[in-house]
């Protein structure tokens, strides 16, 4: 019955809010009590108005996308948004309507949209020198590498800059194979590590894998506390990695790669005790441990600066991107001096990796996170928002699970809690209706039924309430 209702709602695409109007400007009398006694949520006030937009319309842009851009591109929402301005945790469409950004450009906007300190660093460096090459000296790359290394434990201090998380993971896997002299990599089912040849092989979801040669990767059982067969028993899942090494390899491997919290996979936290046990197995097999911090890194989890720190392990290689540059194309691989030495066997080079503009932006991001105490804010606001979402789970049967840490949270929707049947159509409806209320939210998971909440780390308690209230209001009308 719910599915048929959702289908009718999606097909009709009817809503009571007029297009292009800023919800914060709706007269107070319109914010009446719904028949289910859930008030219509109101977007928090914000002292910023963007300049008038004079560019092409959403329809014109869509027409050009269809003709000139890759047909593989897809978009959110029944009627896609044309976003033209951003300020901190808010985005603005072509009509000047304001939206709360609860997705952060896929966990990428860490400090906030157009943070003045990051913008100033980019503009200042651009005005002096946009690009040279690492064949010459420049202080921007060296200063940022030093600052970045200071945030990592142990002897993780040698930095290789890249342009993306995919590039970073490709390089990390190559380093592991060169250092160990082995080819086999152990990854996890449901993981996502990038869309190049090597990282596609490490990715554990068919959604992101083309039918090309992908050799040397073993996908171990995912330690998923919600859907996994062993619940939250991390050591039982870890035995599967041991079995892969024993029965699927020569007994020696190049390494193991995992996210601390699976982002694209639906904000899946690894079962407690899993990583320490797996790291021990990989070390015994002569392999290196790679921590993919592309989404969970840079204070997003709140409790720690890096996701792996929450598991009490120290990896041999750490990869990062997204939040490192607040939207600037930037990634990095950090490892020990001993391991880094393997790249001297040949010439390793990256034309744009570590260019002055991107590294200046990255250094500014690091300073903002520290100065504005964004890690502490992620913990405080994220914990509050998670509690609000847990309360919604008690109220709405469609919510099967609430998980994650800090401002990396997931809400899985199901039509049957016992069977954990993915609510695929329903999540699209809720997502569209929350957009109409002024909340932009992400979606992921293997079945596409998990809300991904990864906002800028400057999110406030009022913003958290607005997200929860918008979700509550929408679900109460279903």
Confidence check: pLDDT of 20 > 70: no
Confidence check: pLDDT of 1 > 90: no
Terminal alpha carbon distance of the chain: 10
Confidence check: pLDDT of 18 > 60: no
pLDDT tens per residue across span 168-187: 999 999 999 999 999 999 99
- For the chain, what is the mean pLDDT? 93
- Which pLDDT belongs to residue 8? 42
Question: What is the separation of C-alpha 88 from the centre of its chain, rounded to a whole number of angstroms?
Answer: 17
Q: Enter the DSSP assignment of 455.
A: -
Q: What percent of the chain has pLDDT over 90?
A: 89
Confidence check: pLDDT of 167 > 80: yes
Residue 352 banded pLDDT, cuts 50, 70, 90: very high
Signed CA dihedral, 6, 12, 17, 20: sign only: positive
Residue 19 banded pLDDT, cuts 50, 70, 90: very low
- Three-state SS for 324? helix
pLDDT tens per residue across span 36-85: 678 999 999 999 999 999 999 999 999 999 999 999 988 999 899 999 99
pLDDT tens per residue across span 304-343: 999 999 999 999 999 999 999 999 999 999 999 999 999 9
The mean pLDDT of 367-376, rounded to a whole number, is 98
pLDDT tens per residue across span 127-147: 999 999 889 999 999 999 999
d(CA 381, CA 460): 6
pLDDT tens per residue across span 386-426: 999 999 999 999 999 999 999 999 999 999 999 999 999 99
d(CA 452, CA 438): 16
Confidence check: pLDDT of 101 > 60: yes
Q: Are strands 261-262 and 268-269 parallel, antiparallel or unpaired?
A: antiparallel
Confidence check: pLDDT of 373 > 60: yes
Tell me the domains of the chain and their CATH numbers.
58-63+75-115+373-476 (3.90.1150.10), 116-372 (3.40.640.10)
- Which pLDDT belongs to residue 36? 60
């Amino acid at each position: 019955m719910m599915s048929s209702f959702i289908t009718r709602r999606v097909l009709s695409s009817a809503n009571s809010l007029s297009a292009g109007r800023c919800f914060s400007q709706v007269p107070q009398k319109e914010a009446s009590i719904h028949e289910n006694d859930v008030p219509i949520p109101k977007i928090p006030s914000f002292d910023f108005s963007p300049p008038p937009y004079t560019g092409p319309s959403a329809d014109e842009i869509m027409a050009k996308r269809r003709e000139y851009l890759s047909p593989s591109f897809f978009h959110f929402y029944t009627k896609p948004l044309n976003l033209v301005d951003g300020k901190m945790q808010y985005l603005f469409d072509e009509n000047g309507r304001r939206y709360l950004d609860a997705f952060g450009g896929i966990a990428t906007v860490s400090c906030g949209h157009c943070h003045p300190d990051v913008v100033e660093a980019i503009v200042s460096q651009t005005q002096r020198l946009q690009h040279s090459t690492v064949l010459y000296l420049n202080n921007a790359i060296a200063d940022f590498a030093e600052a970045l290394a200071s945030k990592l434990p142990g002897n993780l201090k040698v930095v290789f800059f890249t342009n993306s998380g995919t590039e970073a993971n490709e390089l990390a896997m190559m380093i592991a194979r060169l250092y160990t002299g082995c080819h086999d990599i152990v990854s996890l089912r449901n993981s996502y590590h990038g869309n190049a040849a090597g990282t596609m092989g490490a990715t554990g979801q068919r959604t992101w894998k083309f039918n090309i040669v992908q050799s040397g990767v073993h996908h171990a059982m995912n330690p998923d506390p919600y859907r996994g067969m062993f619940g939250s028993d991390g050591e039982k899942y870890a035995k599967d990695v041991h079995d892969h090494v024993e029965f699927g390899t020569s007994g020696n491997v190049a390494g193991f790669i995992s996210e601390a919290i699976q982002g694209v996979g639906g904000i899946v936290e690894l079962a407690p005790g899993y990583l320490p046990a797996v790291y021990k197995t990989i070390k015994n097999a002569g392999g290196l441990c790679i921590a993919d911090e592309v989404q969970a890194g840079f204070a997003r989890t709140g409790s720690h600066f890096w996701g792996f720190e929450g598991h009490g392990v120290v990896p041999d290689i750490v990869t990062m991107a997204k939040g490192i540059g607040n939207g600037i194309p930037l990634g990095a691989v950090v490892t020990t001096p001993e391991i880094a030495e393997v790249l001297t066997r040949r010439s390793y080079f990256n034309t744009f990796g570590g260019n002055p503009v991107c590294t200046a932006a990255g250094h500014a991001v690091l300073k903002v996170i520290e100065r504005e105490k964004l890690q502490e804010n992620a913990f405080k606001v994220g914990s509050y928002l998670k509690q609000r979402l847990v309360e919604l789970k008690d109220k709405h049967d469609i919510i099967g699970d609430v998980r994650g840490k800090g401002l990396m949270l997931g809400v899985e929707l199901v039509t049957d809690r016992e069977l954990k049947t993915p609510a695929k159509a329903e999540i699209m409806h809720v997502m569209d209706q929350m957009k109409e209320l002024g909340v932009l939210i992400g979606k992921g998971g293997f079945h596409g039924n998990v809300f991904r909440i990864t906002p800028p780390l400057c999110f406030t308690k009022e913003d958290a309430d607005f997200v929860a209230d918008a979700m509550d209001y929408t679900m109460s009308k279903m």
